[in-house]
Amino acid sequence: MRMRTDLRSTTLQVAGVAALGVLLAACGGNDVAAKPTLPSSTGALWNPCDVLDTAFVKKEFGVDATKHAGTPTAPECRFTPNDQKSGQAAITSNYLLFPGTLEEAWKTMGQKADADVRKPKVAGADDARIVVNATKKQLYVTGFVQNGDLIQQVDVVDPAPYDVKRDVSGATAVLTRLSAHAAKSNAGSGPSAPAIPSGSPQG
């Protein structure tokens, strides 16, 4: 059983990365999602690119994109538009291990009272949240899905003119696919999952 101090430390760590993703969306200043760092000794559970591909991105977001996989210790999956001048969405997905609930992490993020926070129903997930921030120039959608100790994230950055309904639907589809993969892999199913080491993650 983990000590309370370990849980608190890990809570703050994952909340920091999650909050960074949300803050990037709220501030509208960057299209690069927060990058997780996993212990090199444990390796990655998987890369989100294992279940996300360009055909899926085309179907859900209408984007002809190139897939960029991360590394075993930085399992980030990015999709960038093939036509950089097209004004199409960029999508990024990653994850962290966290022995608490998404609700517990959420309470530490300091969300504004008027933030557009949605709670989509994602099959097999313990919890899911999507934050939507539509600015004049860009739309930012950040989603989280929890399966046990595993919290997975998707970030969508879409320049104007954008389609809020499509991008939120696409983000929900990503979370649904990630959740299904987690359930199939039995990931995050118990307290034995490795925790993020002290000092991580770093953006």
Q: Which pLDDT score is estimated for 188? A: 60
Q: How many CB atoms lie within 10 A of CB 32?
A: 15
Query: What pTM value is reported for the model?
Result: 0.73
Report how far residue 156's alpha carbon sits from residue 106's, in angstroms, rounded to the nearest whole number. Answer: 19
Q: Which pLDDT score is estimated for 191? A: 38
Domain extents in the chain:
4-185
Cα maximum dimension of the chain: 52
List, for residues 131-160, the tens digit of each pLDDT value. 999 999 999 999 999 999 899 999 999 999
- CATH number for the domain whose boundaries are 4-185: 3.40.1000
Report how far residue 30's alpha carbon sits from residue 24's, in angstroms, rounded to the nearest whole number. Answer: 6
In this structure, what is the dihedral angle of CA atoms 173, 171, 168, 201, given to the nearest 10 degrees? 150
Mean pLDDT of the chain: 75
**Has residue 92 got a pLDDT over 90?**
yes
